[in-house]
Structure 1
Amino acid sequence: MAVTDTEVPTRAAPRALLSAAATRATLGSLTSVIPMNRAGVGFGRTLIAAIMAMGGSMPAGATIIPDEGGEWVLGPGVEFGRRAGYYVHGSAYVICSAKTHRKLVARLSEATGLPMFVVDYRLAPEHRFPAAAQDVEAGYRRLLAQGYAASDIVIGADSAGGHLTCDMLLAHAGDAAFQPAGVVLFSPLIDLTLGLAERQETVRRDPAMSAGAARRMVSLYTRGQDPDHPRLKLDFSAARALPPMLIQVGGCEMLAADARYLDAQLREAGGVSTLEIWPGMVHVFQALPKLAPEATVALRRAANFIADRFSDELQEIG
């Protein structure tokens, strides 16, 4: 598939299958044996930072501006204006940061023309639930306090950032003025018990990580909490009040099950959801354009979704 295409491919390209196999032989082998102690967490953070750096691509002319609670990332030629993006990075609550996601967010900013604020929330095991959730809401409220209307903000998120985003928006489902114009989720984690992912493993093994390894990592954040806590086990019955969501997920990853579940829950509650399953793609492939040319197409589709959301809003005002 050429990167000039704009459609979701119907089958995995040979390069995608090769990348998945290489991921399984390298990262997949390591994540299964990394212990969840101080040394293991440190190694995991270094490893993922290296993968994001090597597989990502920073647009020439992108700008990084440190700010309270995170940083602004502006793609080349992007300037501050009426609208902005808010990005919640993934991490399994443990391993990533605003810095690891700079390249992905810069490319998303370039594609959308929006300045993007990336919240740098506190990580486990140093900071357990609800630290990350508190920081994510504080970062979003900071944009509102700076004068951005929620209807002029779009949220992007990946992996655990997907759960944090849904949690925040559901917690304020009764406040229409709090809801952004739209949400784009890359490989969202929704089931923090990893039960959905575990069942998906019986169909296809995730190249990057097992459900068991992911569960051990997530538990560093949720330890001591009831798994049925309403901020952990999300109730989507009020999802009709949430903004439209675009969900993109790789066909090779275990979180394809979470993506399907989220899409079904949103639709069942009367919400608006678009689900894209990208054949042969691994977890958050949008961050790895050097490994997956499909990443560029996926970001273009995300940008089109965002443009449509603002276009819809203008039509409603008119």
Structure 2
Amino acid sequence: MADPELDAVVAALRASPRPADPEGRRARMDAIGARYPLPADIRVEPVAAGGVPAEWTSAPGADPAAAILFLHGGGYMAGSLASHRHVAAQAAQEAGVRTLALAYRLSPEHPFPAALDDALAGYRFLRASGIAAERIALAGESAGGGLALAAAMALRAAGEALPACLWLSSPWVDLALTGASLRTKAAVDPLLQTPYLAELAAAYRGQTDARDPRLSPLYADLSGLPPTLIQVGSSEVLLDDAVRIAGAAGAADVPVTLRIWPQMIHAWHLFHPQLAAGRAALTEAGRFVRGWIAPA
């Protein structure tokens, strides 16, 4: 069934080809965020989160004792507070809590493990600020989704308290690029293709093996991780990343919910102001987060 809203988003993306250089790619993503001004009642407060530039985003009535730690997408090379501010704001509103969005360091200037170190610093900042682990949701989109999983595994390995839940949208969890949907969905994904992902993976991983679980959680032991919501579009080349990580998590006895949204493209939440399915996906995520971080 045709979706005029989605068709308009796809047409705009295809009319704005991705630049070849990192700065151009970053500017292109920031331009997407600039299309969507925040509602007047949303409050944004810059903060240094364990030394990492970050922003608190909240709507009226937000629970100050709970938070979503949000890690933006962009292939570890692009994405910023500006590009995803409207997503962080809507997530905060839907969940009834504040969102702490991190501006983690990007490749190629800062390859692995810089982004992972920053994600852990952001989580520890929340804990040091007095927010209990069971009141934190760790969330990420695309590369940020893989980063959220990697951070959760690093916390588990360190013996630290894990967040209450994980929310992963369009997660990139296999930098070895073995998913069949990289081929089968190539014709319908307007954002990602295998050569581009291979370039991003090489820039981020440096000399680290692509199957290292800290880079590619698909190859990790996922046991003991918190309840997880995975959202992915049926038109994504990363569809198999989401399906396979959901299967691996379920096999490891992690409570996991996989939602495949028909026709949706990679990171469709970005376009929620003009895309009803984006708003519905964020409502679903907010409901999931509220269910796990609500006070006992």
TM-score, normalised with respect to structure 2: 0.91
Q: Deviations over 1:68-95 (max 9, x none)?
A: 1233333331445221111111121111
Contact 1:59 1:75 in 2 (8 A): no
Q: Pick one of 86, 102, 107 that aligns with 1:103.
A: 86
Q: Pick one of 29, 40, 58 that aligns with 1:60.
A: 40
* 1:168 and 2:151 aligned: yes
Residue 120 of structure 1 corresponds to which residue in structure 2? 103
* Aligned equivalents of 1:213, 1:26: Cα separation in 2: 18
* Aligned equivalents of 2:62, 2:53: Cα separation in 1: 18
* 1:22 and 2:4 aligned: no
Over 3 Å counting, the alpha-carbon distance change for 1:52 and 1:215 in structure 2 is farther
* 1:202 and 2:184 aligned: yes
Q: Deviations over 1:263-284 (max 9, x none)?
A: 0010011111101111111111
Over 3 Å counting, the alpha-carbon distance change for 1:77 and 1:17 in structure 2 is closer
Segments of structure 2 that go 5 or more residues without pairing to the other structure are none
Residue 158 of structure 1 corresponds to which residue in structure 2? 141
Output the amino acid matched with 1:71.
A
Segments of structure 1 that go 5 or more residues without pairing to the other structure are 1-11
* Aligned equivalents of 2:181, 2:167: Cα separation in 1: 25
Over 3 Å counting, the alpha-carbon distance change for 1:225 and 1:308 in structure 2 is same
* 1:276 and 2:256 aligned: no
Shift of 1:219: 1.6
Shift of 1:67: 0.7
**Which one is further off, 16-25 or 120-129?**
16-25
* Aligned equivalents of 2:173, 2:209: Cα separation in 1: 16
TM-score, normalised with respect to structure 1: 0.85
Over 3 Å counting, the alpha-carbon distance change for 1:154 and 1:275 in structure 2 is same
Aligned residues: 292
* Aligned equivalents of 1:172, 1:308: Cα separation in 2: 22
Which has the higher Rg, Structure 1 or Structure 2? 1
Output the amino acid matched with 1:289.
H
* Aligned equivalents of 2:193, 2:274: Cα separation in 1: 21
**Which one is further off, 298-307 or 64-73?**
64-73
Shift of 1:178: 1.9
* Aligned equivalents of 1:264, 1:19: Cα separation in 2: 33
* Aligned equivalents of 1:74, 1:225: Cα separation in 2: 34
Output the amino acid matched with 2:24.
F
* Aligned equivalents of 1:65, 1:237: Cα separation in 2: 35
Contact 2:185 2:237 in 1 (8 A): no
Contact 1:78 1:115 in 2 (8 A): no
* 1:43 and 2:24 aligned: yes
Structure (1/2) with the larger strand percentage: 2
